[in-house]
Amino acid sequence: MAKSAFVELMEYLPARCVMGCLGRLPFHYATRAGAAFGRFVWRVSPAQRRVTHANIRLAYDNALDKKARARLGRASFENMGKTIFEFMQFPRLSAADILRRTRLVNIEFMDRALAKGRGVIVATLHLSNWEFFAAAYTASGGRLAVVARPLDNTRLERRVRAFREAKGMEVIARGAALRSGLKALRQGKVLAFLMDQNAARHGVFVPFFGRPAATAAGPAALAIRLKIPLVFCYARRDACSGTDDSFSLVFHEECSLPEGGSEEEQIRDLTAHLNSCIEDVVRAYPGQWLWMHPRWRTQQEEK
């Protein structure tokens, strides 16, 4: 159900005020304030805490006790707060500002894939500050199109889109991903998908932390059907002078496309491989991932 113009305005005005205030803070203060905001949301959001605890139990079974799950959940909320507050800094950050806080790791893998002249599909996840990932890649000279779900508030959506586009990235609404995404690839751009969230009935069920999870198959399907290079990459927060407001963008080697079997089986196998990459990164940096998202909400129907 669409929101009325009045409701959208009442949501937008305070958000716009907060954006303006946060945009004036030094970056490291925005990071610290975001962490405090995340801790506050953790305390006052029992429903989100329950989802977070449930997800961590599903992923780790009995390997973590209640206190450990709470520490991990709180760290995840802190990272989310940091990401939001850091994103508000975008209007005041130049390309040089962004690159000073960024280290590109194995960027040659992306360069090799792009050299094939067919564009590149990127599979990534909501880890660390994924918005900073996109901004840093474009600041380094990369041409990037990002598939993103529009916000429910059209005023906020226009503002967020403007922040992203001002950093040089093309934003493609999820519903227009195929046509606009193909155009971006034909132009030699990188087409990025965040594929670590529940894909409901539109995905394929492949393992994630040992449990079937509905996962977006679009990146694998495009790569297999059109023979487009597919690269997995992610951002992580790095400690720098006792803070965590600097980042590494880590690129993996181009994925090998499956051989043999039907196209459907190849898509499933490649999607399972990408999910395995995502799981490895989440296990390495669990406090930087969005545990509050109901990743296993859609269950596989019994046959």
* Distance of alpha carbon 105 from alpha carbon 122, whole angstroms: 15
Q: Is residue 5 within 8 Å of 12, Cβ to Cβ?
A: no
- Is residue 231 in some structural domain? yes
* Distance of alpha carbon 246 from alpha carbon 238, whole angstroms: 5
Q: What pTM was estimated for this model as a whole? A: 0.93
Please provide the distance, in angstroms rounded to a whole number, between the alpha carbons at the two ends of the chain: 33
DSSP 210-272: TEEEEE--HHHHHHHHHT--EEEEEEEEEEETTEEEEEEEEEPPPPPPP-SS-HHHHHHHHHH
pLDDT at 241 over 50: no
* Distance of alpha carbon 255 from alpha carbon 246, whole angstroms: 27
Q: What is the identity of the amino acid at 214?
A: A
pLDDT in the model for residue 32: 93
pLDDT in the model for residue 64: 92
- Is residue 297 in some structural domain? no
- Is residue 293 in some structural domain? no
Mean pLDDT for the stretch of residues 180-188? 95
Residue among 70, 72, 73, 88 at smallest CA distance from 33: 88
pLDDT at 240 over 60: no
pLDDT in the model for residue 176: 77
Handedness of CA 42, 43, 44, 49 (dihedral sign): positive
- Is residue 298 in some structural domain? no
- Is residue 250 in some structural domain? yes
Confidence of residue 302 (pLDDT cuts 50, 70, 90): low
Q: For the chain, give the mean pLDDT.
A: 91
What's the token pair of residue 255? 């994925």
Could you give the 3-state DSSP secondary structure of residue 171?
strand
- Is residue 184 in some structural domain? yes
Confidence of residue 16 (pLDDT cuts 50, 70, 90): confident
Confidence of residue 85 (pLDDT cuts 50, 70, 90): very high
| Span 130-146, pLDDT tens digits | 999 999 999 999 999 99
- Is residue 294 in some structural domain? no
Handedness of CA 17, 20, 23, 28 (dihedral sign): negative
Strand partners, 249: 104, 235
What's the token pair of residue 262? 């039907």
Which residue would you say has higher pLDDT here, 287 or 240? 287
- Is residue 303 in some structural domain? no
Percent residues over pLDDT 70 in the chain: 96
Helices 130-139 and 154-166: crossing angle in degrees, nearest 10, is 40
Q: How many distinct structural domains can be found in the chain?
A: 1
CB-based burial, 59-89: b 16+ in 10 Å, e otherwise: beeeebeeeebbebbbbbbbbbbbbbbbbbb
Q: Which domain holds residue 226?
A: 5-288
Confidence of residue 96 (pLDDT cuts 50, 70, 90): very high
What's the token pair of residue 256? 């090998």
* Distance of alpha carbon 90 from alpha carbon 8, whole angstroms: 23
Q: Phi then psi for 199, rounded to 5 degrees?
A: -95, 5
| Span 196-219, pLDDT tens digits | 999 988 889 999 999 999 999 999
